[in-house]
Chains A and B, each alone.
Chain A
């Protein structure tokens, strides 16, 4: 992890005139470093995935998150999830080298192409700034608080983190579900079905899962977050980043006919 951090700093020593791209790259490198270091808990994996949706601008397909959600089923985690977790956190027996290689492969096969697509999406409208050097340079990437210099992305990132946090902590009661849904709409940028809240609220088993205090409910909420929230978060970011048209076409080919 430390070596990655060092590299991040190397890049920023070059004075850039296109800070949005550098900011994105820095964030991406942090994501990669976190991945390679492994996660301390299943919750940490979910939180990382949430940050991933924003930092890839939603270019990683929704199916990536759906596939990953399968890993959260059952008593033991799936093999990929086990590899994402550190040795202490996983319940499966997995060789440390194998786990590390799996993380690297995931990075090379899935994440890197998505980061690249995000970069190319951003490059066409990344602004150039030639400011006065010195203290007053507002475009110095190291001083950027916003993701890819886009405040709206930072905002959705915060809403998503909040919505996920609240869910994983467990909602207080049925009314809590209604409160939670307000954040959810913002966190998904509206990419949530009309009856999603109604189902969470009205279906007894779902309500129990969202509000229950037992370890089973806790586990269920993790799966719920992986299966229901992450793909919608991703779709929301994609919409926000103005990519909704392109990816929706790819989905259209498989979803074209409806279930009779």
Chain B
């Protein structure tokens, strides 16, 4: 017996045009888009669009906290460390994590001319406020299904074909494997990358680093396999970026990190635990090769503790108490806060801290022009 699923109602051409109209037009006039250096940069354009004041490290009392994390340099000195940085931002849903992620992306592009890589996922599209400047990177040769879905689920969904995606984003690119993707990233630009569900090239990247050896999952010959959850592609991508470059400043923004490397990772048939160890072992090299990793999650246990040990900055989002004891933060020998200051912050203000200092900061709202979400499924 088979179930009659019926047919899902989709939008008419007229409705589709109306929905696409709600999106801002892609920006193709900047330096990054044209190569003409007399044009505004993407960062400048984004800052103007959202009213973000220019970066000024002197605004802060503790150069070791926010300026040290934001400003990347190959030379250490004073309060500054060399190489890439990292942070874990924790907070309940609705406290502005995704907005902060967009804001941080703009800052990184502005401050370091970073190649920003946003982790795309089929169920989420929190990057849409930056869609006009987005270079969307999809795996080549696999079918793509793209739908715009209203916040109101009774509204019909809008089905887009590949070309129509360029009515929302600046450019759609395809990549063959993680190494190929890294060669296609542009400096000072914002990329949203959807992982390759076929894991092409991942095992080869892993095997090209013979000093990294992990148990192969039972009943298979390789660590990476087509059967793995698509999110496992990211472990191979981080490795590919560290081992094979190019080593320009790169920021990986991973919203909802709990989907990838949670505390509960097991030695399962996909080798999740082994891959978390791989990420942990790559972390130190990531710093040396200019890869910054900015993670966002609901709580500490959204990310496995062996990775947590490596994260040097934390951000406590508003609405939740900041930790006041080192026992609350894995990998910190001490916590500088004696009291809860964070739980009654309003949205738009959060606390960043290291082992030695803490400093509150604000960020600007980065609103999306429309309520529609983009649901982009790769390989189905």
Contacts and interface: CB of A to CB of B under 8 A. Distances in A.
B45 interface: no
Contacts of B361: 257-260
A13 interface: no
B52 A259 contact: yes
Interface in B182-240: none
Contacts of A257: 349, 360-362
Contacts of A15: none
B47 to A, nearest CB: 11
Interface centre among A257, A258, A260 (most CB of B within 10 A): A260
Interface in A193-216: none
B60 to A, nearest CB: 6
Nearest to B52: A259
Interface string A248-260: 0000000011111
Interface string A222-260: 000000000000000000000000000000000011111
B360 A259 contact: no
A260 to B, nearest CB: 4
Nearest to B70: A260
Contacts of A256: 360
A259 B47 CA distance: 12
B53 interface: yes
Contacts of B360: 256-257
Nearest to B69: A260
B70 A259 contact: no
B247 interface: no
Interface in B301-331: none
A230 B280 CA distance: 55
Contacts of B107: 260
A259 B104 CA distance: 11
Interface residues of B, number: 16
Contacts, number: 25
Interface string A62-97: 000000000000000000000000000000000000
B364 A259 contact: yes
B142 to A, nearest CB: 38
A257 B348 CA distance: 10
A259 B362 CA distance: 5
Contacts of A259: 52-53, 59, 361-364
Interface string B46-69: 000000110000011000001000
Nearest to A194: B58
A26 to B, nearest CB: 42
A209 B363 CA distance: 30
B158 interface: no
B352 interface: yes
Contacts of B104: 260
B318 to A, nearest CB: 11
A51 to B, nearest CB: 31
Interface in A14-71: none
Nearest to A195: B56
Nearest to B61: A258
Contacts of B60: 258
A199 to B, nearest CB: 10
Contacts of B362: 257-260
Nearest to B349: A257
Nearest to A258: B59
Interface string B90-121: 00000000000001100100000000000000
A259 B363 CA distance: 5
A98 B360 CA distance: 45
A167 B352 CA distance: 42
Contacts of B59: 258-259
A259 to B, nearest CB: 5
A89 B334 CA distance: 65
A256 B352 CA distance: 14
A223 to B, nearest CB: 16
Nearest to B352: A260
Interface in B17-56: 52-53
A260 B362 CA distance: 6
A258 B352 CA distance: 12
Nearest to B54: A259
A258 B364 CA distance: 11
A259 B111 CA distance: 14
B352 to A, nearest CB: 7
Nearest to B361: A260
Interface in B333-353: 349, 352
A201 to B, nearest CB: 17
A55 to B, nearest CB: 32
A257 B318 CA distance: 13
Interface of A: 256-260
6 tightest A-B contacts by CB? A260-B361, A258-B59, A257-B360, A257-B362, A257-B349, A260-B66
Given A258-B60, A260-B362, 10 more contacts: A256-B360, A257-B349, A257-B361, A258-B59, A259-B53, A259-B59, A259-B362, A259-B364, A260-B352, A260-B361
25 contacts: A256-B360, A257-B349, A257-B360, A257-B361, A257-B362, A258-B59, A258-B60, A258-B361, A258-B362, A259-B52, A259-B53, A259-B59, A259-B361, A259-B362, A259-B363, A259-B364, A260-B66, A260-B70, A260-B103, A260-B104, A260-B107, A260-B352, A260-B361, A260-B362, A260-B363
